[in-house]
Amino acid sequence: MKTQARPNIGSYEERLKGFSWSAAESELGYTPGADINIAWYCTDRICQQGKGGKTALLWEGLGGVEKRYTFDDLRLASNTIASFLQGLGIAPEERVCLFMDRIPELYLGFLGALKAGAVVQPLFSAFGDESLLVRLENAQTKAILTTRKHVGKVRKIREKLPCLKHIIVVDDDGRKALQEREVAFSLARSKPVEDFKAAATKAESPSVLHYTSGTTGMPKGVRHVHYSLVSQYLTAKWVLDLREDDVYWCTADPGWVTGTSYGIIGPWSQGITQCVLDVGFTAEAWYRFIQKRRVTVWYSAPTAIRALMKAGEEIVKKHDLSSLRHLVSVGEPLNAEAVVWSERVFGLPFHDSYWQTETGSIMITNFPGVKIKPGSMCKPFPGITAALLDMATFEPFHESGKVGLIAIKPGWPAMLRGYWNNQEAFEKKFKNGWYLTGDRATLDQDGYFWFVGRDDDVINTAGHLVSPFEVESALLEHPAVAESAVVSKPDEINMEVVKAFVTLKAGFAESDDLKLEIMNFIRKKLSPLAMPTEIEFIAQLPKTRSGKIMRRMLKAKEWGQEIGDTSTLEND
Ligand code: WT7
């Protein structure tokens, strides 16, 4: 074990006493009622503190191409993008989508859109046209920032999107003619805008719209507000333990909430240097990056850790990883073995952190300096009241070992303010004055939370949620598919992967080629994550008397569980 300086949080117990978010507001210099714009806090304010020359972003892409941006560069670039967006006529609270790989423009575009007062909608660049379409349609998105590599997918669907007025290609090289509604933008060729007044957004003004998948229905847009900054700032400080001289690496893509809350807002609102690696995962590439960048704080995910474990210890020893001082994980259950392993090979345990797109910031976590019980998520963040509710009565209980629903008392700064245009789904998330996470856990005698599983059929593959409903709907669009049921199956690295049971239409014969064709169909339409890694043809799907597909029965088989009482399954 490496010896650690006293963590930012100091004593967890002390922080719980008399906790109030207003101390974080004061640190940020925010007074209730004043303007609050996340992008201003991440750029202009840091420059005002005299840190304009400090490195904000160390970026590395394919082939080792590097770029470096200071906080003053962030300020100027976000000003320039914001003024370009306003010039196009983007009005406050209109949705601006970001659809690109993890290139610098993604980070700068995020800040620029917020500075312009727009609601920023980041979407994972590996999404296919169908995934993109439903999310742009739902949000009535007005503009999309994308690149030559991905604009083809936008072109395919733009006729169905009358609201989408501007398709902004941020790396246009002039070689191919731009098409209808498309406009080129280049930071390098734009005149930097020195003075730009950030939109006068208030605490409750909408900021970020992240789409997340549920069991039923189409993906939901999780609506966050600028005030979320207060939670994200303080959790980054106390859980990620970020300090002035850190080099922080968050491995998540800003298409997902970890990549915005802690890959942009948390660290930059504190003026912390962070690095980004925009290449695919290999153990070699990651270790080399940590060594080269002298990464000190590393925020990653269990799937990546399991993949590193599989790559073995020899490769760890070939690299100098001595800069690392604090490791945190999120997105899926962090296996006890992974904690023990990281302590052995890096001399540091991974600290688990539990939260959701909806919560906007970390809820339950292992704090630096607090005893880790490998396999447990530890305790709620100060200011967060988390409890387990009885699965039938929705009443909180304290019994250790009993499985309950993880619930949180509403009111923390980063809590979602709603689902975009879906009040009904939002209301369903609350019972007896509690916000329901939809996850199950147990508590032990020390008040530590132990994750048990989700309370629905959503598939968590490599830390990303996939809706069985969305995959089933897409499968139906394939000419050979009559019906389907999509479930999770266990996977050594990704924890869960997608499996589809499919019945074929008359005239189609089962074959391996057809399986591959269907898989590819989903990969292109939705995303590589949503692609079933296995397709099983089946003569008939198990159904309830009322005709509902018994997904859980198929799932139980995949997990080697008792199928149990099918009469209860029928009522599901
Ligand atoms: C769901 C939320 C939070 C950012 C990334 C995911 C699962 C998340 C943990 C953890 C066990 C976890 C839950 C949760 N999850 N963190 N530490 N241990 N499970 O955000 O896509 O909204 O997914 O991921 O099931 O509800 P998301």
Q: Using DSSP, state whether 168 is helix, strand or coil.
A: strand
Domain positions in the chain:
71-226, 464-559
Distance CA 494, CA 87 (A): 44
Residue 457 DSSP one-character state: S
As a whole number of Å, the end-to-end CA separation of the chain is 48
Specify the ligand 1 atom closest to the Cα of 464: 21
Is the CB of 461 within 6 Å of ligand 1? Answer: no
Is the CB of 488 within 6 Å of ligand 1? Answer: no
Specify the ligand 1 atom closest to the Cα of 438: 26
Rg of the chain on CA atoms, in Å: 23
| Atom 18 in ligand 1: residue holding the nearest Cα | 333
Q: Which of 159, 155, 189, 192 is nearest to 174 (CA)?
A: 189
Distance CA 299, CA 463 (A): 13
Phi, psi angle pair for 165, to nearest 5°:
-90, -30
Owner of token pair 């939002």: 426
What is the residue-level pLDDT of the chain in tens, covering all 572 positions?
A: 555 689 999 999 999 998 999 999 999 999 999 999 999 999 999 999 999 999 999 999 999 999 999 999 999 999 999 999 999 999 999 999 999 999 999 999 999 999 999 999 999 999 999 999 999 999 999 999 999 999 999 999 999 999 999 999 999 888 888 998 999 999 999 999 999 999 999 999 999 999 998 877 789 999 999 999 999 999 999 999 999 999 999 999 999 999 999 999 999 999 999 999 999 999 999 999 999 999 999 999 999 999 999 999 999 999 999 999 999 999 999 999 999 999 999 999 999 999 999 999 999 999 999 999 999 999 999 999 999 999 999 999 999 999 999 999 999 999 999 999 999 999 999 999 999 999 999 999 999 999 999 999 999 999 999 999 999 999 999 999 999 999 999 999 999 999 999 999 999 999 999 999 999 999 999 999 999 999 999 999 998 887 888 888 999 999 998 776 555 444 34
| Atom 12 in ligand 1: residue holding the nearest Cα | 332
Q: What residues contact 223, with CB distance under 8 A and at least 6 apart?
A: 119, 206, 209, 416, 417, 418, 419, 420
Distance CA 565, CA 85 (A): 57
Q: Best of 209, 465, 495 to mutate for ligand 1, by most ligand atoms within 8 A of CB?
A: 465
Specify the ligand 1 atom closest to the Cα of 258: 4
Q: Using DSSP, state whether 379 is helix, strand or coil.
A: strand
Q: Which amino acid is at 211?
A: Y
Ligand 1 centre from 356 Cα, in Å?
Answer: 5
Is the CB of 361 within 6 Å of ligand 1? Answer: no
The DSSP annotation for 291-339 comes to HHHT--EEEE-HHHHHHHHHH-SHHHHTS--TT--EEEEESS---HHHH
Ligand 1 centre from 218 Cα, in Å?
Answer: 19
Distance CA 276, CA 260 (A): 13
Does domain 464-559 fall under CATH 3.30.300.30? My reply is: yes
Ligand 1 centre from 354 Cα, in Å?
Answer: 6
| Atom 20 in ligand 1: residue holding the nearest Cα | 356
Q: What's the maximum distance between 2 C-alpha atoms anywhere in the chain?
A: 71
Ligand 1 centre from 258 Cα, in Å?
Answer: 10
Angle, vertex CA 92, rays to CA 90 and CA 95, nearest 5: 65
Q: Using DSSP, state whether 257 is helix, strand or coil.
A: helix
Ligand 1 centre from 297 Cα, in Å?
Answer: 20
Specify the ligand 1 atom closest to the Cα of 463: 6
Is the CB of 389 within 6 Å of ligand 1? Answer: no
Question: Exposed/middle/buried for 157, CB within 10 Å: 0-12, 13-18, 19+?
Answer: middle
Asked if 171 contacts 147 with a C-beta cutoff of 8 angstroms, the reply is yes
Is the CB of 155 within 6 Å of ligand 1? Answer: no
Residue-wise burial string across 134-156, b where 16 or more C-beta atoms lie within 10 A, e elsewhere: bbbbbbebbbbbbbeebbebbee
Q: Best of 262, 356, 406, 455 to mutate for ligand 1, by most ligand atoms within 8 A of CB?
A: 356
Ligand 1 centre from 216 Cα, in Å?
Answer: 18
Ligand 1 centre from 385 Cα, in Å?
Answer: 18
Is the CB of 258 within 6 Å of ligand 1? Answer: yes
Please state the separation of Cα 398 from the chain's center in Å.
30
Ligand 1 centre from 355 Cα, in Å?
Answer: 5
Distance CA 166, CA 143 (A): 5
Ligand 1 centre from 531 Cα, in Å?
Answer: 20
Ligand 1 centre from 393 Cα, in Å?
Answer: 24
Is the CB of 242 within 6 Å of ligand 1? Answer: no
Is the CB of 465 within 6 Å of ligand 1? Answer: yes
Give the CATH number of domain 71-226; options: 3.30.360.10, 3.40.50.980, 3.40.1160.10, 3.90.1200.10. 3.40.50.980
Distance CA 446, CA 401 (A): 11
| Atom 2 in ligand 1: residue holding the nearest Cα | 356
Is the CB of 44 within 6 Å of ligand 1? Answer: no
Q: Report the run of H or E that residue 452 belongs to, with start and end.
A: strand 449-454
Is the CB of 332 within 6 Å of ligand 1? Answer: yes
Residue 128 DSSP one-character state: -
Question: Exposed/middle/buried for 5, CB within 10 Å: 0-12, 13-18, 19+?
Answer: exposed
pLDDT of residue 549: 85
Partners of residue 99 on adjacent β-strands: 146
Q: Which of 70, 96, 103 is nearest to 82 (CA)?
A: 96
Phi, psi angle pair for 198, to nearest 5°:
-55, 145
Q: CB count, 10 Å around CB of 359? A: 24
Is the CB of 54 within 6 Å of ligand 1? Answer: no
